[in-house]
Every structure is written in structure tokens, then in C-alpha cells.
Amino acid sequence: MDSMDNFFHKSLITKPNNLTYSYYLSPNFTSQITSSPSLPILLFLHGFPDDAHMWAGAMPHFQNLPYPMILPDLLGFSGSSKPTNPHLYNYRQQANSLAQILDAEGISSSQQRIIPIGHDWGSLTAQRFYLHHRQRCIGLCILSLAYQVPTDKPFSLWTANHETTKKFGYPQWSYWEFFVAPDAPDLMRENLERFWEVNNGNYPSPLPEENGRDIWMREMFCTKNAMREYVTGTGKWAGEKSVPLKPYPEGDRQKARFIARMSRDGFEGPVCYYHNLAINANLEDDAAFCRPGPGGEDLRKIDAPMLYVGQTGDWVCKTDLMAEAKEMGLVSDLEEKVVEAGHWCLYECPEKIAGAIGEWLVKRFPVQ
């Protein structure tokens, strides 16, 4: 039985682009928000290549807490629309669509009661939801991807990989070169089992100085052409070479669900998250945050209580990348936690992640 089987599934066509958003409400959601009009509401936002069910393993813990919950399928995934125009994945537009879901569920825009909780691209969606709709938000929680401080400078994939190679010793965004390639959606769909292994494999380092640390994400995501070669079984990975999977508690079920879902839905929509940033579709909106607000305030600042949860095995979303925002004074009420896990921590150790978030919620947002 899926721990979200008792959640209520709904959908909404959002304006102005008539995009459908599928979402799940926790049991007794409506009665909770109406009987306790100041009760914080948790807005869970998944990342690539997942959907709302990524959070399923954490839901038993969260259902023991007093907070009502909304779990959308983000644009491009599962029951939500899957446009192939990268401009439609603009984060202001996505934030506005999420706000329309809140409006449809009778949640007043004048009340600060939303706590966005995001993982991977869902972390960036949560961050930008906060910035675009801060009047709704009482807190913010992000996993894996640290606060991406808005900038008025265009993004360059080549520059990013060049600079991170000098800084970290490897090109942090090398895998993007595969995701933005025209043939990537077809290759991933044709090789779903191998793409699941790309994301969820386990490869302890053979180097003595790395003490058996899992370096699979570095090998696949931060090594030029590695992801393409593994997915297609070519180059270093020719001859059906593969690696074992991480021992997830529900790994077989999650893998089967992923393969069924993505063989049906494809990757043409999901890869738009990468194209969207590569073409700087959010630059104008982010640049606006870089200008002083009406009272001279810094619009990039997150004033609400904030939790960042990083993972030791995440070679892309490194655990020390909150440093920039801290040095700039943009996260005045930040708590950081680091867990021993890989990037897909909600599959690997959902109870540990739920416990870390739940502890922060109960401490910072107690319910009498």
C-alpha cells in the first residue's frame, strides 16, 4: 500500500497558459485549514525526474504532525501538463500557478501560513515561490540544492563548468550537456533501466584517500560524456557493464513505478527545466530581485525561518554551497543539517529526512 493512498487527488487548470496541475491533499485538509485558520500549511515540491510520490516514504512521519499538506506534480511530470516550450517553465509563472492552487483551496493570499519544502528543482521552485509570494510564506525548507541567489548576469553552461572545474576539480554541471542535447529525451526513454541506474547507482571509490565514499554521482554527473555513455552502453560502459543499485527500502517498487511513468510520459517536458535555465528564461525576473525594493530593502533576502538539508553523497548540490547566501547576509534565520545519503535521499532514507524536517517544523512552528 502506498502511504499516499489516503490523500485526495485533484487537478486545476491554471492561467494564463491553461496548464493543468495535478496535486494531492492530505487527509482532512479542508477541515484543518478552516478550523485552524493560522495553521501552517506544508507545500511539498519534488524535482527531476520525480513526481509528488517521491515524498511517499516520508508521509507516515508527516501525517503524525499537525500540519495540512499539498503535494503537486510539478509541470512536466505525471498528471500535470507537459509543455515542451522551455519558456513555460519560468519560475515566476510556476510560482503563480502554485498560488492559484492555494487560492482554489481557499487559502487566503493575505495570510502567512505556507512553508514550501522543495528538493532538487523543487528546491529552486520553492525558493522562487517564496520570493514571488513572500506574503504567503511563514517559512522555507530546501533539500539538496542550496539557495540560488538571484543574479542579473546571464547563465553560461560552458562558463559554469569551466569555473567549477577550477574550484572543485570537476565540471559540476557536465551532465547538463546531455540533458540539453536534442536526442536526450529519446535516449533516456529507450534506456529507462540504465537511466534509473545513473541516478541511483552505488559506486564506492577505489581510491584509498576517499575511504570507500560513494562517488557514483561524480562519475555520472560530473564527468564529460559519462551519462550519455552509460545510458547508451557505449564507451567505458560498452558490453552491458553496470553498477549495483543503492539498497533503497522500497527500491524495486520505486524503480518499477519510474519505468512505467516515464515510458508513458517521456522526458521532453522534464528536460525543459534545463533548457529553461540554459536560455536564461528567468533572467529578467531574477534581475528585478537584484534591484532595491520600494523601501530600499534587498528583495533577495529570505527573512522567514529557513532550513537547508544537504547530503554527503551529493557531488552536484554540494553541502557547502549555502556559503554565498550567508556571506551576503541573505538568510538571516537559517538552520543547516547534513545527512549521510545521496542526492535522492527521499528514496534512500525517507524517515531520516522526514525526521530532520519534522524536528525543525515542531521547534519553529509549534501548534498549541
Domains in the chain: how many in total?
A: 2
Considering the domain architecture, whether residues 137 and 69 belong to the same structural domain is answered as: yes
Burial (CB < 10 A; 0-12, 13-18, 19+), residue 243, is middle
Contact 357, 350 (CB under 8 A): no
pTM summary value: 0.98
Q: List helix spans (H) across 144-295.
A: 157-168, 176-179, 184-190, 192-200, 216-221, 226-232, 251-265, 272-278, 283-289
- Residue 168, Cβ neighbours under 10 Å: how many? 13
The pLDDT, as a whole number, for residue 268 is 98
CATH number, position 89 = 3.40.50.1820
Place 1 in a pLDDT band, splitting at 50, 70 and 90. Answer: low
282 occurs within a structural domain:
no
**What is the per-residue pLDDT for 336?**
98
Q: Report the C-alpha gap between 201 and 221 in whole angstroms.
A: 12
In angstroms, rounded to a whole number, what is the distance separating the alpha carbons of residues 361 and 173?
A: 32
Residue 332 contacts residue 234 (beta carbons within 8 Å): no
Per the structure, the complete domain to which residue 263 belongs is given by 157-273
Q: 6-53: per-residue pLDDT in tens?
A: 999 999 999 999 999 999 999 999 999 999 999 999 999 999 999 999
- 128, part of any domain: yes
Per-residue model confidence (pLDDT) at position 197: 98
Cell 569555473, located at residue: 163
Residues 6 or more apart whose Cβ sits within 8 Å of residue 355:
61
Do 57 and 169 fall within a single domain?
A: no
Do 171 and 224 sit in the same domain of this protein? yes
Task: For residue 368, name the pLDDT band (cuts at 50, 70, 90).
Answer: confident
Q: What is the pLDDT of residue 3?
A: 85
